[in-house]
Structure 1
Amino acid sequence: MLTYILKRFVQLVPVLFGITLACFFLLRALPGDPATLLLGARGGAEEIAAMKQRLGLDLPLWRQYLLFLHDILSGSLGRSVVYGQPVISLVLERLPATLWLVAYSTVIAVVMTIPLALWSAVKRDRAPDILVKLVFTVLLAIPSFWLGLVLVVILAIWVPLFPTSGYGAGLFSRLHHLTLPAFVIALATASLTIRSLRSGILNVLGSDYVTTARAKGNATGRTMRVHVLPNALISSISVLGAHTSWVIGGTVVIETVFALPGLGSLFVESIFARDYPMIQGLTIVFAVLVVLINLATDIAYALADPRIRLD
């Protein structure tokens, strides 16, 4: 297991190198630059040139890229053009909100997935099964930002049960503020995991050991709890892990809709300001988070199924 984890971290190096190349040169291909946006209409040619020199944007691209790599290796990830602070400081300040959102939405998705998938599988091809599949297929097709806006209008404005924005201070206040955005993300996650778990349950229900357990007179509830659900969940771990990686990117939209002070909203702000160091640093952070989630998924998969070996 330890050898596998170390190998995955070694494999992360060329992946991150490729991401730095793509991010760096794609940013420079976009119209506009931080110096022009910072000075605005009041900036003449001389002021813009001086600002570019101060920001290091007048250097050759290869030197700018080497400086970017130096910032990564030093751990600072560079200095934000807009905020004037090290990127890593702003990342650490905003990271908790994003991690809370991802964790809370994952918990809600799991709580929704297990009972609904069981209900759908047990009532296969009957009204409950058709209803569950129809509802979550429709939810999967609805854009998250639109669903978020609808929930804000209904549950935060018409019926003021939840706040429209913000992060909260204490634990319960924080959970209260994050409920709507986490629920929006959880609906998208559950739309996939319910179908996966339902298929896994149906496969396990047709297996020989479940038939034997039923023949021995085991109660249906015990059979589902002891034999069916644990084995069916194994196939859903990879789906949940992959979708959690997607959620990391999805926070960009959700945090913007709900005005949450996380990495996603910071990323959007940085793009509009053409804050090159911040965008580059956040891209690296998102990439590392996705790799760590995928690694955790592989480990969880191996622990859940002893037949799987991680080499």
Structure 2
Amino acid sequence: MLIRFGLVALRGVAVAFGVVVASFALILVIPGDPVSALLGSHVTPATAAALREQLGLDHPWWVRLGDYLGHVVTGDLGTSLSFGSPVASLIAGRVWPTLLLVLCAMVLAIVTSLALAVAAVRWRNGPIDHLVRLLTTTGMAIPGFWLGMLLILVFSVNLRWLPAGGVGEDPGSFIASLVLPSIVAAVAIVPVLSRSLRSQMIDLQDADFIVAARASGFSRRFVLWRRLVPNSLLPMLALAGTNFAVLLGGTFIVERVFSINGVGSLLFDAISARDAPLIQGIVLITGLCVVVITTLTDLLASIVDPRLRHERNRA
């Protein structure tokens, strides 16, 4: 087990290093000149050269990469060109709306996927099963921004039940403002999670412990909720961890649609302003979050499910 932990941790460190290098390389391939975007109409060859020297953009890329790695190790993500503030403080000031939205969307996605998968297996090959598969297929095809605007039109403009955007200050309005964004963000991964859980439950229906439970006279409800569902949840939860990047990327788009001042909105502002340090910082932080979540999910799956551990040992 210690060897397994060491290998997973080493892989996580390697991937994290790759994320750091990728966040630096991203700026090299983005079209546009950040110096020209920052100076605007006041750009001249002299001012552009002076600012380029001040920002270190006149150095070779390998020198800039070394400087960037050194600053990242010390926690210095640089200074935003457009805001004039440290990148780390800007991200920290916007992280809570994004974090709460991701948590709400993840919980909603897991609960919804569980309900859909149980209904599909309970009435397998019936109208409900076909309806669930139709809904999940439709969910995979619907763009998040389109669904967000549709929900705003129905529940905010016409029915006036929920706010159309922003984040409320008091607890009631704050919770209400997260309902529609959480639904839109959760739709991005519900089809994958529900289909995975459905397949896992179908595969386990003929397992020895399920057959033994039925032969012992336990009710169908007991076998479903006390035997089948608990033993099928772990692969879905592991899949939820690996799809965290999809959820986070969808959350960034949702923030823009619902005017939530989170990290996603900050990223769009940084891209519009060609703010290279801010773009690098956001890509780096979100990439490292994905690496941490997927690594912890892999470790948790190995600890909780001995079958996965034995399979990896045989491999």
Which is worse superposed, 284-293 or 56-65? 56-65
Amino acid at match of 1:279: I
Amino acid at match of 1:287: G
- Say if 2:23 and 2:284, in contact at 8 Å, map to a contact too: no
- Say if 1:237 and 1:300, in contact at 8 Å, map to a contact too: no
1:156-195 to 2 correspondences below 5 Å: 156-195=156-195
* 1:258 equivalent in alignment to 2:251: no
- Say if 2:109 and 2:190, in contact at 8 Å, map to a contact too: yes
Could you say what secondary structure the match of 1:164 adopts? coil
* 1:38 equivalent in alignment to 2:75: no
- Report the Cα distance in structure 2 between the residues aligned to 1:85 and 1:265, rounded to whole angstroms: 17
Structure 2 residue aligned with 1:281: 281
1:139-218 to 2 correspondences below 5 Å: 139-218=139-218
- Report the Cα distance in structure 2 between the residues aligned to 1:208 and 1:5, rounded to whole angstroms: 31
- Say if 1:241 and 1:297, in contact at 8 Å, map to a contact too: yes
1:1-311 to 2 correspondences below 5 Å: 4-5=4-5, 7-309=7-309
- Say if 2:20 and 2:284, in contact at 8 Å, map to a contact too: yes
- Report the Cα distance in structure 2 between the residues aligned to 1:129 and 1:289, rounded to whole angstroms: 35
Amino acid at match of 2:66: L
- Report the Cα distance in structure 1 between the residues aligned to 2:241 and 2:19, rounded to whole angstroms: 21
Which is worse superposed, 209-218 or 175-184? 209-218
Amino acid at match of 1:122: R
Change (3 A) 1:68 1:111: same
Amino acid at match of 1:286: T
- Say if 1:163 and 1:177, in contact at 8 Å, map to a contact too: yes
Change (3 A) 1:142 1:221: same
Could you say what secondary structure the match of 2:84 adopts? coil
Amino acid at match of 1:118: V
Amino acid at match of 2:174: R
| Structure 1 position 9, deviation (Å) | 3.7
Structure 1 portions without partners, runs of 5+: none
Change (3 A) 1:299 1:16: closer
Change (3 A) 1:22 1:111: closer
Change (3 A) 1:195 1:268: same
Amino acid at match of 1:25: A
- Say if 1:181 and 1:258, in contact at 8 Å, map to a contact too: yes
- Say if 1:241 and 1:293, in contact at 8 Å, map to a contact too: yes
Change (3 A) 1:13 1:296: closer
Please provide the CA RMSD for this pair: 2.1
Moved over 4 A (4+): 1-7
- Report the Cα distance in structure 2 between the residues aligned to 1:225 and 1:172, rounded to whole angstroms: 33
| Structure 1 position 70, deviation (Å) | 2.1
- Say if 1:91 and 1:282, in contact at 8 Å, map to a contact too: yes
- Report the Cα distance in structure 2 between the residues aligned to 1:257 and 1:42, rounded to whole angstroms: 33
| Structure 1 position 182, deviation (Å) | 0.8
- Report the Cα distance in structure 1 between the residues aligned to 2:51 and 2:70, rounded to whole angstroms: 22
Amino acid at match of 1:176: A
